[in-house]
Structures are given as structure tokens and as C-alpha cells.
Amino acid sequence: MADSIKIRAQIQGEITDIRILMQHPMETGQRKDDKGQSVPVNFIQTFSVLHNGKGLIDGQLNTSISKNPLFGFKAKGIKTGDKLAVSWVDNLGERRQDEIVVA
């Protein structure tokens, strides 16, 4: 399974700054390995962010996104003690989900 998703949430008044680092190789299929063979396509297709179990963000990615993509969002209505969960699914069917409690 892939490395954990790093989720940071910083409350600034009514606005919360959310940063998400999804560790994934994000291969385009155009790179060659040491033996000259093409590295197979492998990228995150969809991801979602949940706030206390309710949908906050749904996104779609493709091969043009770099390795270990980092995303930043701003949201209203998030309070200390709330839960933020992030999940992704890649083109090979691999999945990852992680959750934090906002401090």
C-alpha cells in the first residue's frame, strides 16, 4: 500500500487552510527504467475530501500531475475537533484513505 496521505489544517478565523500531500509515483508511461523498458502508466484518477463524513471536495487527476501531488484549499465552517478524511483511487485500482482530527 502507498505511503500515508499527509493532511494539514490550519484554522485562521472563519477560514481553514487545508493542505494535502498524496504520495504516489504518478507515472505517465513515457519514462524508461534502467533497462530501457517503459514504466507503466500509474496515476491517481479520483480523490475526495470529507468533512465530518460529508463531501467537501471531489477531484479528478490525470498523467500530467507530478509525483506526490500537493493540493491546497480553503474552507469555511471547520472547527477544532472536526474530522477531515482524504481518499484516492488510481488507474490500477489501488486505494488509500487517511483521516485527521483538526487541532
Could you tell me if residue 1 is inside a domain?
A: no
Confidence of residue 95 (pLDDT cuts 50, 70, 90): very high
Could you tell me if residue 46 is inside a domain?
A: yes
Could you tell me if residue 86 is inside a domain?
A: yes
Confidence of residue 64 (pLDDT cuts 50, 70, 90): confident
pLDDT at 2: 72
Q: Beta strand pairing status for 95-101 and 54-60?
A: unpaired
pTM: 0.92
Could you tell me if residue 88 is inside a domain?
A: yes
Distance CA 26, CA 68 (A): 7
Could you tell me if residue 81 is inside a domain?
A: yes
* Domain at 55, CATH number: 2.60.40.10
Single-letter residue type at 92: L
Domain hosting 84: range is 6-30+38-101
Residues in the chain: 103
Q: How many distinct structural domains can be found in the chain?
A: 1
